[in-house]
């Protein structure tokens, strides 16, 4: 590991060059299929079943933990990382099982020879390329074979297990590729269907009509009973499926820092000002105050992000500015130095490492002693001074993996357009504070670097600044006050009715708002409007409808919630379905009244009179596939293109989507449609279907058809 680790960790992202076995554990963030583990054992716990096949809790939990750690490293809050990891791994396991069933039925396999080709052949698996070679080096099948053979013969049990999981992962991805390719290549658009579509699209009709919209009838005149909604839902069950969920009402009591808490932090920082001003060892002082990210190097003014930059940089050297409020902290800033420096630098270097970082644990470990490292670096400096080739020495001796780019091409240890503040301080200050052509040895955390400054770009002032921040946190008094208020409300609310009454009488006059959160799933952590709390979700699912839940801390609030709705897996109930079904059934009732009012259909003029003198309108150039004049009215369009209605008044009033229509088909015919030949259309449709998400749709269909027992909510 070299200084470039710090460069990319801070402003880009370094892919550390390590061999596969150091990275295999991260593969667990994706799914594996291992028949040796599929049974789970007689004594194992089970987190779920898919079509009778077990998902072992121990194995599943391991995958969730690793995925959660990865998400946390990406900046996700703990609860959110857990919730996403739990859902991601569950979907992955369900998909693995339902797909394996299809592979078995279809006879899709990956044999030993094919696996060897994926590892050692001319087109190796992308997964093998990612995990079985050091980053930045070209794929070498011979080296991969040596690595795999060595692990199998001499590796630890954990290394062998990780290797087997990686190989199984490669197999599973290959199986999925075959399955998806089979689906894509089997898509077809029959010729007769294309011909029918072209013929239909060429049809055109002109109609005259009289209509009465449903909106003209007051809703209050048409009551829809619960039984009518229940009957409708029963006949259309597939449209009214629901997953298990809960809904709550909630009131929050803020435990965020008060103004008094802010003043206390500011006061504490002012008390620290004399010591911050007089210290002779700024790094040691800041470490004693819990500041671990002090950067003891110069940064270009353009790299300083503080909103108070101008005030800080105008200070005399040694001057202090603040306290000022920034990012939830009160901060004191001390200007340690100011110098003219370039904006960016081009540099090359050779690293003789003393330490490297373990990519899994993150811990540093020694690779050579400092005396040996310095002597080797000094001898390299002397050889270059005598005329030896820098590139040759870099290629042979440098421990910096960045001496090769992502494609494995040798870079000569050159880094261009390096901004200030992104390297470790001693390296940073050498290349920014010395002119082009400067050469020297610099010691960093990672070892000794022989450095040559090749060129500078731009110019401006650079600054070294020390910041002493103190986070504004709530005092115990503030926290206790919020908790006491929440407990008081909870104590006055033994049930939902009391909860609502207490809120209206006591809290609403204080300006408190009652929130609503719906669609809370059993394994959720996030609650819309509140934030993330797995504990609160568990409490919601342990409660009954109408039960008030004891105060729970979520973020900066104590929350008192009441369960208002309980939805079980299955078909929606009347209350849930009513908002969707009631308008449909009400319009049906309106349609029957309007149709009765119109009576027997004879002419449009008679229908117009029966409808109170409604105007007769026309709609020309209607198409089966596109009729914007009418909007979405499929029954009217169907009647217009029914050959039996040509030149006639349709003998029955039509119950449409938006109202009732009486229609006369004035004329029909056909026009040329520029859609290409049948062959061209078929090829275009085939190409579109291959590129579509058909495999994804099929996998979701397989999941929907599967019998799934999900026990996650009871275990997590």
The pLDDT score that the predictor gives to residue 602 is: 92
State how far the alpha carbon of 46 is from the alpha carbons of 33, 58, 376, 379, 621, in Å.
Answer: 16, 8, 57, 62, 62
Burial class (CB in 10 A: 0-12, 13-18, 19+), 123: exposed
What does the DSSP 8-state code read for residue 646? B
Q: What is the pLDDT of residues 76-89, one digit of tens each?
A: 877 788 888 898 99
Q: How many residues does this entry show for the chain?
A: 716
Phi, psi at residue 469, to the nearest 5°?
-100, 150
The pLDDT score that the predictor gives to residue 267 is: 95
Same domain, residue pair 140 and 33: yes
Same domain, residue pair 501 and 584: no
Q: What is the pLDDT of residues 161-181, one digit of tens each?
A: 888 888 988 998 999 888 888
- CATH number of the domain at 437, please: 3.10.50.40
The pLDDT score that the predictor gives to residue 687 is: 78
Instruction: Count Cβ atoms below 10 Å from residue 377 Cβ, excluding itself.
Output: 21
Pairing of strands 654-655, 659-670: antiparallel
Same domain, residue pair 552 and 592: no
Is residue 4, in this structure, part of any structural domain at all?
A: no
Q: What is the pLDDT of residues 302-328, one digit of tens each?
A: 999 899 999 999 999 999 999 999 999
Give the count of domains, the chain: 5
Tell me if 178 sits within 8 A of 576, measured CB to CB: no
Is it the case that residue 34 has pLDDT exceeding 60?
no
Burial class (CB in 10 A: 0-12, 13-18, 19+), 398: buried
Is residue 607, in this structure, part of any structural domain at all?
A: yes
SS3 category, 357: strand
SS3 category, 341: strand
Tell me if 438 sits within 8 A of 305, measured CB to CB: no
Of residues 214 and 685, more confidently modeled: 214
Same domain, residue pair 37 and 176: yes
Q: How far apart are CA 33 and CA 165, in angstroms?
A: 8
The pLDDT score that the predictor gives to residue 214 is: 95
Tell me if 607 sits within 8 A of 601, measured CB to CB: yes
pLDDT band at 28 (very low <50, low <70, confident <90, very high): very low
Tell me if 162 sits within 8 A of 21, measured CB to CB: yes
pLDDT band at 361 (very low <50, low <70, confident <90, very high): low
User: Strands of 203-213's sheet, edge to edge?
Assistant: 617-622, 203-213, 659-670, 654-655
Q: How far apart are CA 225 and CA 247, in angstroms?
A: 24
Is it the case that residue 48 has pLDDT exceeding 60?
yes
What does the DSSP 8-state code read for residue 316? P
Q: How far apart are CA 414 and CA 419, in angstroms?
A: 14
Is it the case that residue 292 has pLDDT exceeding 60?
yes
Q: What is the pLDDT of residues 446-471, one digit of tens each?
A: 999 999 999 999 999 999 999 999 99
Q: How far apart are CA 342 and CA 195, in angstroms?
A: 69
Is residue 174, in this structure, part of any structural domain at all?
A: yes
Same domain, residue pair 144 and 216: no
Is it the case that residue 609 has pLDDT exceeding 90?
yes
Q: How far is CA 523 from the centre of its chain?
A: 17
Same domain, residue pair 607 and 665: yes
Strand partners, 669: 204
Q: What is the pLDDT of residues 53-78, one digit of tens each?
A: 999 998 899 888 888 888 888 888 77
Burial class (CB in 10 A: 0-12, 13-18, 19+), 590: buried
The pLDDT score that the predictor gives to residue 33 is: 36
Share of the chain above pLDDT 90, in %: 63
The pLDDT score that the predictor gives to residue 68 is: 87
Q: What is the pLDDT of residues 534-563, one digit of tens each?
A: 899 999 999 999 999 999 999 999 999 999
Handedness of CA 389, 395, 396, 401 (dihedral sign): positive
Structure tokens that stand for 645 in this block: 């209605």
Same domain, residue pair 446 and 407: yes
Q: Which residues, 6 or more positions from 167, have their beta carbon under 8 angstroms from its beta carbon?
A: 115
Q: Which residues, 6 or more positions from 459, have their beta carbon under 8 angstroms from its beta carbon?
A: 340, 341, 342, 343
Is residue 193, in this structure, part of any structural domain at all?
A: no
* Residue in the block written with tokens 């650079």: 462
Closest CA to 220 of 501, 586, 563: 586
Domain boundary among 429, 457, 485: 457
Domain boundary among 568, 588, 622: 568
Strand partners, 283: none
Same domain, residue pair 535 and 516: yes
Q: How far is CA 383 from the centre of its chain?
A: 52
Q: How far apart are CA 433 and CA 423, in angstroms?
A: 13
Same domain, residue pair 348 and 395: yes
Radius of gyration of the chain (CA): 36
Q: How far apart are CA 145 and CA 704, in angstroms?
A: 42
Burial class (CB in 10 A: 0-12, 13-18, 19+), 357: middle
Q: Which residues, 6 or more positions from 29, have their beta carbon under 8 angstroms from its beta carbon?
A: 63, 66, 67, 70
Q: Which residues, 6 or more positions from 623, have their beta carbon under 8 angstroms from its beta carbon?
A: 201, 203, 204
Q: How far apart are CA 196 and CA 60, in angstroms?
A: 51
Is it the case that residue 382 has pLDDT exceeding 70?
yes
Instruction: Count Cβ atoms below 10 Å from residue 24 Cβ, excluding itself.
Output: 23
Kindly report the average pLDDT of the chain as a whole number. Answer: 87
* Mean pLDDT value of segment 7-32: 35
Is residue 661, in this structure, part of any structural domain at all?
A: yes
- CATH number of the domain at 540, please: 3.10.50
Q: What is the pLDDT of residues 650-684, one digit of tens each?
A: 999 999 999 999 999 999 998 876 667 888 888 88
* Mean pLDDT value of segment 376-381: 96
Same domain, residue pair 432 and 394: yes
The pLDDT score that the predictor gives to residue 336 is: 97
Is residue 8, in this structure, part of any structural domain at all?
A: no
Structure tokens that stand for 472 in this block: 């504004």
pLDDT band at 235 (very low <50, low <70, confident <90, very high): very high
Is residue 584, in this structure, part of any structural domain at all?
A: yes
Strand partners, 553: 558
Domain boundary among 285, 311, 340: 340
Same domain, residue pair 43 and 179: yes
For the CA atoms of 556, 558, 563, 568, what is the dihedral angle to 10 degrees?
Answer: 40
Tally DSSP H helices, then E strands, for the chain.
25, 25
Same domain, residue pair 520 and 439: no
User: Which region among 132-136, 439-443, 579-583 has the lowest average model confidence (pLDDT)?
Assistant: 132-136
The pLDDT score that the predictor gives to residue 675 is: 66
Q: What is the pLDDT of residues 476-504, one digit of tens each?
A: 999 999 999 999 999 999 999 999 999 99
The pLDDT score that the predictor gives to residue 43 is: 42
Is residue 206, in this structure, part of any structural domain at all?
A: yes
Tell me if 516 sits within 8 A of 530, measured CB to CB: no
* Mean pLDDT value of segment 98-118: 92
pLDDT band at 42 (very low <50, low <70, confident <90, very high): very low
Q: How far apart are CA 296 and CA 294, in angstroms?
A: 6
Residues of the domain holding 495: 245-256+476-568
């Amino acid at each position: 590991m070299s200084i470039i680790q710090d460069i990319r960790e801070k402003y880009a992202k370094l892919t550390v060059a390590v061999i596969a076995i150091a990275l295999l554990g991260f593969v667990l963030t994706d799914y594996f299929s291992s028949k040796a583990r599929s049974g789970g054992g007689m004594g194992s716990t089970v987190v779920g079943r898919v079509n009778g096949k077990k998902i072992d809790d121990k194995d599943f939990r391991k995958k969730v933990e690793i995925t959660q750690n990865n998400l946390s490293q990406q900046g996700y809050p703990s609860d959110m990382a857990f919730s996403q990891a739990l859902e991601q791994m569950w979907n992955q396991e369900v998909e693995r099982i339902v797909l394996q069933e299809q592979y078995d039925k279809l006879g899709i396999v990956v044999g030993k020879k094919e696996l060897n080709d994926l590892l050692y052949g001319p087109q190796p698996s992308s997964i093998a390329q990612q995990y079985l070679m050091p980053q930045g080096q070209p794929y070498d099948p011979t080296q991969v074979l040596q690595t795999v053979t060595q692990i199998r013969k001499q590796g630890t049990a954990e290394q062998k297990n990780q290797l087997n999981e990686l190989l199984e992962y490669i197999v599973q991805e290959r199986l999925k590729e075959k399955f998806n390719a089979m689906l894509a290549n089997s898509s077809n658009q029959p010729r007769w269907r294309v011909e029918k579509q072209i013929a239909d699209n060429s049809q055109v009709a002109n109609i005259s009509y009289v209509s009465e919209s449903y909106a003209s009838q007051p809703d209050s005149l048409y009551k829809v009973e619960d039984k009518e909604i229940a009957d409708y839902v029963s006949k259309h069950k597939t449209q009214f499926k629901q997953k298990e969920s809960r809904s709550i009402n909630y009131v929050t009591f803020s435990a965020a820092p008060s103004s008094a808490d802010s003043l206390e932090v500011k006061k504490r920082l002012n008390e620290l000002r004399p010591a911050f001003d007089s210290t002779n060892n700024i790094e040691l002082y800041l470490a004693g105050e819990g500041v671990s990210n002090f950067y003891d190097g110069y940064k270009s003014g353009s790299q300083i992000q503080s909103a108070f930059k101008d005030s800080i940089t105008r200070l005399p050297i040694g001057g202090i500015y603040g306290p000022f409020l920034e990012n939830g902290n009160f901060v004191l800033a001390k200007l340690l130095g100011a110098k003219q420096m370039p904006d960016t630098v081009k540099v090359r270097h050779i690293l003789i490492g003393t330490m490297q970082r373990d990519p899994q644990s993150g811990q540093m470990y020694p690779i050579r002693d400092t005396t040996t490292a310095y002597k080797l670096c000094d001898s390299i400096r002397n050889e270059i001074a005598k005329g030896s080739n820098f590139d040759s020495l870099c290629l042979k001796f440098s421990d910096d993996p960045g001496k090769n780019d992502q494609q494995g091409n040798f870079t000569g240890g050159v880094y261009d357009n390096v901004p200030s503040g992104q390297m470790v301080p001693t390296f940073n200050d050498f290349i920014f504070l010395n002119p082009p052509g400067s050469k020297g040895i610099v010691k960093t955390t990672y070892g000794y670097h022989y450095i040559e400054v090749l060129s500078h770009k731009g110019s401006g002032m650079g600054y070294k600044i020390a910041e002493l921040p103190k986070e504004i946190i709530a005092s115990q008094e503030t926290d206790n006050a919020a908790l006491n208020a929440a407990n008081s409300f909870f104590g006055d609310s033994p049930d939902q009715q009391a909860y609502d009454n207490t809120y209206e009488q006591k809290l609403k006059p204080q300006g408190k708002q009652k929130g609503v959160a719906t669609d809370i799933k059993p394994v959720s952590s996030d609650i819309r409007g509140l934030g993330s709390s797995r504990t609160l979700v568990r409490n919601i699912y342990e409660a009954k409808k109408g039960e008030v839940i004891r105060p729970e801390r979520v973020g900066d609030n104590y929350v008192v919630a009441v369960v208002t709705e309980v939805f079980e897996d299955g078909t929606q109930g009347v209350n849930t379905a009513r908002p969707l079904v009631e308008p449909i059934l009400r319009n049906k009732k309106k349609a029957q009244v309007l149709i009765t009012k119109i009576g027997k259909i004879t002419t449009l003029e008679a229908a117009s009179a029966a409808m109170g003198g409604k105007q007769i309108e026309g709609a020309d150039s209607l198409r089966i596939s596109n009729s914007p004049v009418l909007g979405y009215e499929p029954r009217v369009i169907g009647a217009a293109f029914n050959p039996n209605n040509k030149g006639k008044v349709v003998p029955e009033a039509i119950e449409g989507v938006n109202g009732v229509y009486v229609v006369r088909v004035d004329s029909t015919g056909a026009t040329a449609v520029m859609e290409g030949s049948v062959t061209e259309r078929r090829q275009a449709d085939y190409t579109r279907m291959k590129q579509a998400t058909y495999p994804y749709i099929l996998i979701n269909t397989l999941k929907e058809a599967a019998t799934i027992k999900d026990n996650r909510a009871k275990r997590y």
